[in-house]
């Protein structure tokens, strides 16, 4: 019959029963809503469109073409099956030598050929999630602190904290300077942590940033390297979007800074890079994560830990061949950047038609969308979640609210644009434009009927419009009004 429900938790571990995974956040709730009602152009045209998944599907055709032309790269083909016995047998946690060499070579190409990487420092892991957790196990003990600029990737709470016991202290960044990170802000957070008797073990950066899509300039990155060296704390840089750059952006890797900074100003034993092929190559299902450290002891420890999350040997074999094909890689990186730039421009231009602006960005698979003018209360995270519910339940788009990324200002949303085809993107843009247009029309009607004085005063009229726009969205949420054909009262979130 089993134990009574109230006693079931008593026989499980603290990890099994705590809530540190973060699965109960709006970030994951949006995914759950999508899973229950996924959009399809023909089979479910009124379903929820997934815009919460940072996935690059724009160049999969190039990879498919390469696979067709190189059947010998797979043990599952007539041309490659002769390698089956060697690949199917046990492989130690170092990984295939040619795979590590190909990864190191590709990491250099993904950074514009400005730096080189040592294959002997390449450590495998099960995706960037596994790589980030592995580096935490290597560098910190339970209760130790890492500083992270906010807003930061929502799943870092899971990846970095859940099983390691490491604590995260955000370094708040604000829209007043376009969320730019400064050494002064890091130093402030560092001192605050020390005043609270916290042991700060390091600083974690995502460069390019998720969710902002911005990149650190070389001066800022150099000063941060100097800062961690002075404080004798680690610097972990998540560079999984290194080649996911468009609009002529110039990505600077921390490896470039390490090479250029005077040796007296950097302790390379404190510098570590996390990488993967999930974003730059659009291969998240392959679960290829990389820890690259300049610290010999970290490389040794991480390699031992990689036994818990190895990349399958047949995946290593195929990728070793693909990433060693310079002609293919060069064309892929160039074409990916071009297509991402076009998609970003189409998407942000479409948002502008709905009077929605985004933070200026030049990298990533998403836009940082500013919807502060649509909030009932611009200073309220409760208002942000109300608006998020409307977007999920009524507009039928899964976007991620800024609060799930620990943004300190309500009203910002991350919205992904590279995980769908062109037709789906246009449907999504149409829904957004229609939603905003319908509510703006309601406001215009209110103006003509109720307030002729304000109508004749442009400055006051704009203030009144913004205030009533927020109120109209609040009423829309409470009354269940919706655009015909695309908003359902049967959302799983409403039922929950």
Catalytic residue among 48, 49, 279, 393: 279
| DSSP secondary structure of 203-258 | EEEESS-TTT-----HHHHHHHHHHHHHHT-EEEEE-TTTT-B-TT-----HHHHH
Residue 153 appears among annotated catalytic residues: yes
Which residue in the list 29, 157, 159, 238 is annotated as catalytic?
Answer: 238
The pLDDT score that the predictor gives to residue 450 is: 43
What percentage of the chain exceeds 70 in pLDDT?
85
Task: Report the candidate in 354, 368, 383 with the shortest Cα–Cα distance to residue 470.
Answer: 383
DSSP three-state, residue 341: helix
Mean pLDDT of the chain: 85
State yes or no: is 443 an active-site residue: no
Supply φ then ψ for residue 316, to 5 degrees.
-60, -45
Residue 352 is a catalytic residue? no
Strand partners, 50: 398
Least confident of 135-149, 405-419, 442-456: 442-456
pTM as predicted = 0.85
Residue in 135, 233, 240, 290 annotated catalytic = 240
Q: Name the least confident of 315-324, 392-401, 405-414.
A: 315-324
pLDDT single digits (tens) 173-202: 999 999 999 999 999 999 999 999 999 999
Residues in the chain: 496
Contact in structure between 405 and 398 (CB atoms under 8 Å):
no
Which is higher by pLDDT, 107 or 15? 107
Cβ distance 376 to 383 under 8 Å? Answer: yes
Q: What is the dihedral of CA 28, 30, 33, 39, to 10 degrees?
A: -120
63-118 tens-digit pLDDT:
999 999 998 877 787 877 777 777 777 676 678 899 999 999 999 999 999 999 99
pLDDT of residue 221: 96
pLDDT value at residue 465: 42
Kindly report the number of other CB atoms within 10 A of residue 434's CB atom. Answer: 15
Q: What b/e string do you get for 353-369 counting C-beta neighbours within 10 Å, with b at 16 or more?
A: ebebbbbebbbbbbbbb
**Per-residue pLDDT tens for 366-401?**
999 999 999 989 899 999 999 999 999 999 999 999
Q: Tell me 483's DSSP state.
A: -
At 444, is the pLDDT very low, low, confident or very high (cuts 50, 70, 90)? very low
Catalytic residue among 153, 190, 275, 292: 153
* Residues in Cβ contact with 493 at an 8 Å cutoff, skipping those fewer than 6 apart: 29, 33, 389, 392, 393
């Amino acid at each position: 019959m089993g134990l009574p429900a109230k006693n079931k938790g008593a026989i499980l571990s603290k990890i099994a029963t705590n809530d540190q995974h973060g699965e109960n956040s709006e970030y994951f709730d949006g995914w759950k809503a999508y899973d229950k009602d996924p959009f399809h152009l023909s089979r479910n045209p009124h379903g929820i469109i997934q815009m919460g998944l940072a996935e690059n599907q724009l160049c999969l055709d190039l990879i498919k073409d390469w696979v067709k032309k190189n059947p010998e790269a797979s043990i599952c083909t007539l041309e490659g099956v002769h390698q089956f016995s060697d690949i199917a047998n046990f492989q130690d946690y170092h990984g295939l030598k040619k795979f590590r060499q190909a990864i190191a070579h590709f990491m250099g190409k993904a950074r514009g050929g400005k730096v080189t990487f040592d294959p002997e420092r390449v450590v495998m892991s099960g995706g960037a999630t596994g790589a980030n957790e592995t580096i935490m196990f290597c560098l910190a003990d339970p209760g130790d602190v890492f500083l992270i600029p906010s807003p930061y990737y929502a799943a870092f709470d899971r990846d970095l904290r859940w099983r390691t016991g490491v604590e995260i202290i955000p370094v708040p960044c604000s829209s007043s300077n376009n969320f730019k990170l400064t050494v002064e802000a890091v130093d402030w957070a560092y001192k605050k942590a020390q005043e609270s008797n916290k042991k700060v073990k390091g600083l974690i950066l995502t460069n390019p940033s998720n969710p902002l899509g911005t990149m650190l300039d070389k001066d800022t990155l150099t000063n941060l390297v100097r800062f961690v060296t002075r404080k004798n704390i680690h610097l972990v840089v998540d560079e999984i979007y290194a080649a996911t750059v468009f609009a002529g952006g110039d990505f600077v890797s921390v490896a470039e800074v390490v090479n250029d900074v005077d040796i007296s100003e950097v302790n390379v034993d404190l510098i570590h890079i996390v990488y993967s092929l999930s974003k730059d190559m659009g291969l998240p299902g392959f679960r290829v994560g990389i820890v690259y450290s300049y610290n010999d002891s970290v490389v040794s420890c991480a390699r031992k830990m990689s036994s818990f999350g190895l990349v399958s040997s047949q995946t290593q074999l195929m990728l070793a061949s693909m990433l060693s094909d310079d002609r293919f890689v060069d064309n892929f990186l160039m074409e990916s950047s071009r297509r991402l730039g076009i998609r970003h421009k189409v998407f942000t231009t479409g948002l502008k038609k709905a009077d929605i602006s985004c933070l200026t960005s030049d990298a990533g698979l998403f836009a940082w969308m500013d919807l502060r003018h649509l909030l009932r209360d611009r200073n309220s995270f409760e208002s942000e979640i109300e608006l998020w519910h409307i977007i999920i339940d009524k507009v039928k788009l899964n976007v991620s609210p800024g609060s799930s990324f620990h943004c300190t200002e309500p009203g910002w949303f991350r919205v992904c644009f590279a995980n769908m085809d062109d037709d789906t993107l246009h449907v999504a843009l149409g829904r957004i434009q229609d939603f905003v247009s319908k509510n703006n029309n309601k406001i215009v009607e209110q103006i003509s009927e109720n307030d002729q004085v304000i109508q004749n005063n442009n400055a006051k009229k704009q203030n009144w419009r913004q205030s009533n726009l927020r109120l109209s969205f609040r009423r829309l949420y409470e009354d269940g009004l919706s655009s015909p054909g695309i908003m359902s009262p049967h959302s799983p979130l409403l039922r929950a």
